[in-house]
Amino acid sequence: MDHLTPEARSANMRAVRRQDTAPEMRVRRLLHRAGYRYRLHTKALPGAPDIVFGSRRKVVFVHGCFWHGHDCRKGSLPKSRTDYWRGRIARNRARDVRAVAQLTAAGWGALVVWECEMADTDLLLARLRAFLDWPPIQTV
């Protein structure tokens, strides 16, 4: 049973952001400090990726573990209305898979960064650099 009234739960859910979330902002700041420049939420691309590197043809999705059904502690289902949440998160996951497949088919590289991966900043930056800098950009 939900401990909040329907009105309070509705207000709580309206407060959940789609863009500029705390995990997304951490990744963006980390990339900017490392010297990378990017665009945000390009709606012309499938899935409107969180971070877009147009010249590199690469995108980064920053996923919240709960909302995108990650297999970690933060990704566990609530104990109430499990059927609703299972379906909701399954639809989110299917949409994510579709977006990455469409981007890959169009020649874009896609990387998913999970909220739970934010703890080790050095490891996260190394993973981002490996993704963004490979293959090396050729200058003529």
Q: What is the mean pLDDT of residues 96-109?
A: 96
pLDDT band at residue 20, thresholds of 50, 70 and 90? confident
Whether residue 124 contacts residue 118, with contact meaning beta carbons closer than 8 Å, is answered with yes
Whether residue 45 contacts residue 103, with contact meaning beta carbons closer than 8 Å, is answered with yes
Where do runs of H (alpha helix) occur along 1-140?
A: 6-14, 22-33, 82-105, 121-132
Distance CA 100, CA 110 (A): 6
Amino acid of residue 52 = V
Report all structural domains of the chain as residue ranges with CATH numbers, in order of start. Answer: 18-132 (3.40.960.10)
Dihedral angle of Cα 57, 32, 62, 46, to the nearest 10 degrees = -30
Statement: residue 68 has pLDDT above 80: yes
Q: What is the mean pLDDT of residues 100-128?
A: 96
pLDDT in tens, 30-66: 999 999 999 999 999 999 999 999 999 999 999 999 9
